Chains A and B, each alone.
Chain A
């Protein structure tokens, strides 16, 4: 028993090191980072965070990201709910093929869609808007949401639906008042993963925006190339990008294990 937990502890310790190092650096000044090598900040400073929260080129990145991620999550989950219900409850012509096709969209590298998205959004004048990124991210998030929700819905006994219909519930009323509360957890998990994958996506978000909707992920990479050595601010920005995910996972923490447990993410 002891030997086995040793492996776990060593692994967790090692895997924490890179994160710890970033957090450590985010509290140092650039001068300290470059001059001395210390395990803890000698001159603890909030200055880097202050830079990010007061400089609009930094904090607007967070706001932009949050806007398109939220739009995307709302559309994805709303569209996916009825579809997941259809897949979990009924057999219909071509259902398996449709499901497979959705899956391929989840798995296709965003790079494949890059060119046409660029042309499409240029044509309809959506370039550099939050909506463009939100719509582009639908391509992998809608299938994902359908997939997760279908798993949760299949776990609910079908007798519940049948009883409700016999009691004279219409489909929309049954769905919103009875069914939705039952799969709350599933909706939470689906929303979480949509949020995650939209939040971390870089390629499309970077290509489809330039100024007005520039996401934080793009701001970070551009700072690397331009300023080059502003490690401290970069580390602080990195720490801040982890926080929204951490907050969201806090709300769905009981259900995450189940989401993963379905082997569906």
Chain B
């Protein structure tokens, strides 16, 4: 079942190409131009070669932001993936309760990201927030604006609240795709609940999980809005992640050159992650298509 070769298909892709060329290729070329120049004003520009790249690569704050980013993204995965699987396993398979559970779980996904920040801002304040005052009532010191560790944990908690549903939905979709015959066979064999999970469910949803892992990793790698609204990157730099740092440089300080060099490095990292994701999906897609 191979798709016919037809080079005229390029004509069909043309509208997309024009849209994306305007909004992606031209900007990217511009970023490359900026990255090799010292732009004092639009008329006064000096070619500086790879200097910005060198200075960005040596930038200690950037290293710190990158390290924070990686630790954050890994923590996100460590919490969200197991929790998402557990949720998917506990969701009913069919009926109105399944739809109700699905909608209820998915709800945080549908909230605008800045509102997510606002919600948590309200929720975590010790004077007016439910969580904040609950923690205070337990006799603990809590302030997401004052204490670096607590700010970081709050952002993590917010991300878990916001994005675990995506993992749960993906895992749930994977679980529903397992034919009933597998479960019947397991029941005949008298397999335990754990064995069913270990030998039937986990291998079957491995592919979807891999996609969930990569999507979550990449998305958390570009997190901007929620911490911007909640903590503004503070206290100090405790919750300043890569996108936030880049935006500070680009719009805040208007350092066009370094910001552009930084953008390109950021872009390369994303390209690599994307490449891995894409190949995973290709590998996954091939047997699936053969089944049809």
Contacts and interface: CB of A to CB of B under 8 A. Distances in A.
| A pairs with B | yes
B134 to A, nearest CB: 10
A107 B211 CA distance: 13
Contacts of B225: 200-203
Interface of A: 4-5, 7-8, 11-12, 15-19, 21-22, 25, 33-34, 37, 75-76, 78-80, 82-83, 85-87, 89-93, 95-96, 98, 100, 102-105, 107-120, 135-136, 138-139, 142-143, 146, 154, 196, 199-203, 207, 217, 220-221, 224, 231, 234-235, 238, 241-242, 245-246, 249, 253, 256-257, 260-263
Given A109-B242, A136-B23, A202 B113 contact: yes
A184 B108 CA distance: 26
Name the prevailing secondary structure of the A interface residues: helix
Which residue among B6, B114, B131 has the maximum number of chain A CB atoms within 10 Å of its CB?
A: B114
B229 A91 contact: no
A154 B289 CA distance: 9
A115 B263 contact: yes
Nearest to A99: B278
A114 B211 CA distance: 28
Which residue among A5, A90, A109, A203 has the maximum number of chain B CB atoms within 10 Å of its CB?
A: A109
A92 B99 CA distance: 40
Given A95-B9, A100-B274, A104-B270, 20 more contacts: A5-B90, A11-B83, A11-B105, A19-B111, A86-B9, A87-B9, A91-B3, A91-B5, A92-B7, A105-B20, A109-B221, A111-B247, A112-B31, A112-B267, A115-B34, A116-B31, A154-B289, A202-B229, A253-B103, A262-B173
Contacts of A113: 23-24, 27-28, 31
Interface in B54-98: 83, 86-87, 89-92
B87 A11 contact: yes
A191 B196 CA distance: 38
A220 B119 CA distance: 12
Contacts of B19: 75-76, 79, 138, 142
B250 A103 contact: no
Contacts of A16: 104, 107
Interface of B: 2-7, 9-10, 12-13, 15-16, 18-20, 22-24, 26-28, 30-31, 34, 83, 86-87, 89-92, 99, 101-108, 110-115, 118-123, 127-131, 133, 161, 165, 169-170, 173-174, 176-177, 208, 211, 218, 221-222, 224-225, 228-229, 242-243, 246-247, 250-251, 256, 259-260, 263, 266-267, 270-271, 273-275, 277-278, 282, 289
Given A34-B127, A91-B5, A112-B263, A15 B24 contact: no
Given A91-B3, A100-B278, A114 B250 contact: yes
Contacts of B90: 4-5, 7-8
26 contacts: A8-B87, A11-B105, A12-B105, A18-B123, A18-B131, A22-B123, A76-B19, A79-B19, A82-B12, A87-B9, A90-B6, A107-B218, A107-B273, A108-B270, A110-B224, A116-B28, A117-B23, A120-B26, A136-B23, A224-B121, A234-B118, A238-B119, A242-B110, A261-B176, A261-B177, A263-B173
B223 to A, nearest CB: 9
B114 A220 contact: yes
Given A7-B90, A104-B274, A109-B222, A261 B173 contact: yes
Nearest to B177: A261
A95 to B, nearest CB: 8
A160 to B, nearest CB: 15
A200 B16 contact: no
B260 A115 contact: yes
B112 A199 contact: yes
Contacts of B4: 89-91
Contacts of B161: 15, 18
